[in-house]
Amino acid sequence: MAELIFKDPRFDALRNAIYHAERRSFFDILNKGLNFLVIICGAAVAGKAAHLVHAQELTLEMGVLLFATIQLVFDFGSRARDHDYLQRRYYEMLGQMERDSDDSAEAYRARSAELLTIAADEPMPMRALDALAYNKALSAVVTDPDVVAAYRQHVTWWQKRCRHLFAFHSAAFPYEAAYFKHRSKRWWHRKRPA
């Protein structure tokens, strides 16, 4: 029997649902923020014409041009809807798994195939965000704190802050237990007297 791509479809569906919820929220915030800036800057340009705002004309006009262009070109609202759709599909799959409660090998094979079908609609993953979604899903389904501690993926401070901006394709996300054990050995090695 060939090995399944998704060994635990329930966990992977939950992780993907969490991932897409994060991406949807990020793009919704960007979309609303840029709409707000376009309206405010546009009002400022109109106010400048009426001499209500004391700002340099070029600054206000460039602000409107920049924010409106970013909003139109990147279409963050549409991206948010894409992630909303994917999130909904993963939660529907989770709901179906809960209803069926079939843990046979054939059911796992069917679920793995369904995960692959949904994954075909996904955009390029943001790997740091995916590692954080993995950690949240792990905390949600595993009750043993030792297992959670052993399998949490380490995401650096920089990667957490830039998780929506950079894909981090070449980054490694080792398990935190191994990462900190390795770092403590290096730290101890540096402090030993020669």
Per residue in 114-160, pLDDT (tens digit) is 999 999 899 999 999 999 999 999 999 999 999 998 999 999 999 99
Tokens representing 100 are 């069926």
Q: Where do the domains of the chain lie?
A: 1-122, 124-194
Torsion region of 101: left, alpha or beta (phi above 0 gives left; psi -120 to 50 gives alpha): left
Q: At what angle do helices 9-49 and 105-119 cross, to 10 degrees?
A: 20
Cβ atoms within 10 Å of 169's Cβ, excluding its own: 9
Residue 105's identity, in one-letter code, is A
Which has the closest alpha carbon to 16: 177, 137, 173?
137
Specify the range with the lowest mean pLDDT, choosing from 6-15, 58-67, 180-189: 180-189
